[in-house]
Structure 1
Amino acid sequence: MNGGDRIGSRRGAQPDTVHAVINSNASHDDAEIAVAAVRAGAEVVRARYGQRLTRIDKGAGDFATDADVAAEEAILDVIRAARPGDAVHGEEGGRRGADDAARQWLVDPLCGTLNYAVGHMLVAVNVALRGGPAAVADPFTGEVFFTDGENAWVRGDEGDTPLAPTAATKLVDVNLDAPFPSAPGFRAVDLLAHPGFVARFRPRVVSTTLALAWVATGSRAAYVTDGGDLTGSVHFAAGIALCRDAGCVVTGVDGAPVGQAGRGLLVAADAETHGLLLSMIRGRG
């Protein structure tokens, strides 16, 4: 990507500025739109941090806040301005656009809502074009992790740096949030108690898919979560795309390819780490 021609590359750029840049040059590709969109959402998340939030009950103990809703609207504004014919599926607003639209954007405006609501900064903003480019923003560091569908980078104040996964930290993030659809065959808590895990790795639990971006950058060795097919999930699609294009090993917790055949996610920085964790999950390690 041309480092001198980035949408919203200045930290703290206002969404209106982002819109103007997009509208002035329709040739910007989908990766740049994804970057612009997550930056717009991240700006809202930063601005609302620490303020009084209105909670919106979703049932079963889950909730959104008015910050989630406002961030999603900021993201939708960017996508609509650049790709008005595309459909969007947002966590808060559901599906918008034509049912038969060939292109669909998946939007998670604030992943880690509970963290955010209690004053913790461990959150992410996720935007993915299904089957294509994607971006993940850390609203509080200003970093944007993104892929053009082939290669992955982190964008910061100094420009774009290719992502280089490594298992050197030996830190593994494990999602312990309910539900647990694979029990009793797989329980994340059982993995944490496995003697092989204790000997080789150190667990972390952040409850946000920002942890997937951390695997792609090398600050985490792996990420494990239960679930079904997560490729179309607004929560996970951007992180899956990012990790794949950074060169991580990405499968379900059963070792099957992610998608309809796989269950959940086992994402590792390298094949050795992936193999060790998979053997523990299968009860052989």
Structure 2
Amino acid sequence: MLYSATINVMVKAARRAGRSLKRDLGEVEHLQVSLKGPANFVSLADKRAEEILYQDLAKARPGYGFIGEEGGTREGTDKSHTWIVDPLDGTTNFLHGIPQFAISIGLVREGTVIAGVIYNPANDELYIAERGKGAFLNDQRLRVAGRRQLNECVVACGLPHIGRGDHEEFRREMTAIQDRVAGLRRFGAASLDLAFVAAGRLDGYWERDLQSWDIAAGMLMVREAGGTVTDIATPGDALVTGHVVCGNEFVHGELVKILRK
């Protein structure tokens, strides 16, 4: 499969950071049984992966800005392009040795996400999307699932963090949706939830209070696979609000009806 030079840069960076995380995952699994525990080590693993991404992306595109979960914003001379990066989405999963985590890289040009890469080094699944060119998983074209009966659908959600978000609101939403669908899942990595919708593994997904690095690449993935992604409360840009709902056109519409009640 032939991809653009930009995608190739992103893939190379993601794979190099992924090798670092995969090595660190082995150490995390060892630390599970120690008194010290893996928390501090995971924090270092996260920062190491982000530095690898920054070095590789900055070398290939030296003028671009860079927004990372760990290092914050680094201004570039090219004000129209910015990398938005999560070096380890699914940190809690990684912390416990659960192989459901990913590196997420999005490229924004003048406010629009134009390229995205999501990579899970634990199972070597590489998701790629480029605006107007489709979405792919390990070079296979992706399409969202086509189900049009909500009671046949499996939907994912995210749980509010302790001390953040409205837990009562989430409980209301969860109860309303789980009564209408075939199954409700919570995997713990927003980028992969979005990628799973793009791949047709999940029919829909919603979550509130996310950051741009959680969803930039994944939102593009869903759209390029034929899905719909919006803010939960309005037709606005979830990349700005952090409140995302997605699925095929029908499932998205049904979830929106429930969530906006």
Normalised-by-shorter TM-score class: 0.7 to 0.9
On the 8 A contact 2:14/2:53 being kept in 1, the answer is yes
SS of residue in 2 equivalent to 1:101: strand
Q: Structure 1 residue 260: deviation in Å?
A: 7.9
Pairing 1:134–2:116 present? yes
Pairing 1:149–2:131 present? yes
TM-score w.r.t. length of structure 1:
0.77
Letter in 2 for 1:237: A
1:107-158 deviations in whole A, cap 9, x for unaligned? 10000111101111111110011122111011112111111212333342xx
Q: Counterpart in 1 of 2:182? A: 201
TM-score w.r.t. length of structure 2:
0.83
Identity over aligned residues, as a percent? 25
Pairing 1:176–2:154 present? no
Separation in structure 2 between the aligned mates of residue 150 and residue 258 of structure 1, nearest angstrom: 18
1:220-269 deviations in whole A, cap 9, x for unaligned? 011101137x5xx111111111111211111111142225885601111x
Which of 74, 81, 86 matches 1:96? 74
SS of residue in 1 equivalent to 2:213: coil
Q: Structure 1 residue 162: deviation in Å?
A: 0.9
On the 8 A contact 2:232/2:238 being kept in 1, the answer is no
On the 8 A contact 1:212/1:239 being kept in 2, the answer is yes
1:39-95 deviations in whole A, cap 9, x for unaligned? 222111111103147645xxxxxx961111111112112202211111111111112
The count of corresponding residues between Structure 1 and Structure 2 is 242
User: Greater helix share, 1 or 2?
Assistant: 2
Separation in structure 2 between the aligned mates of residue 225 and residue 129 of structure 1, nearest angstrom: 22
Pairs within 5 Å for 1:1-285? 1-2=1-2, 29-52=5-28, 55=39, 65-98=43-76, 101-130=79-108, 131=112, 132-156=114-138, 160-166=139-145, 168=147, 170-178=153-161, 179-180=164-165, 187-194=169-176, 197-209=178-190, 210-227=192-209, 233-259=212-238, 264-268=243-247, 270-283=248-261
Letter in 2 for 1:138: N
Cα distance change of structure 1 residues 163 and 95 upon mapping to structure 2, 3 Å threshold: same
Separation in structure 2 between the aligned mates of residue 273 and residue 155 of structure 1, nearest angstrom: 22
Separation in structure 2 between the aligned mates of residue 40 and residue 226 of structure 1, nearest angstrom: 31
On the 8 A contact 1:253/1:263 being kept in 2, the answer is no
Structure 2: runs of 5+ lacking an equivalent? 32-37
SS of residue in 1 equivalent to 2:85: strand
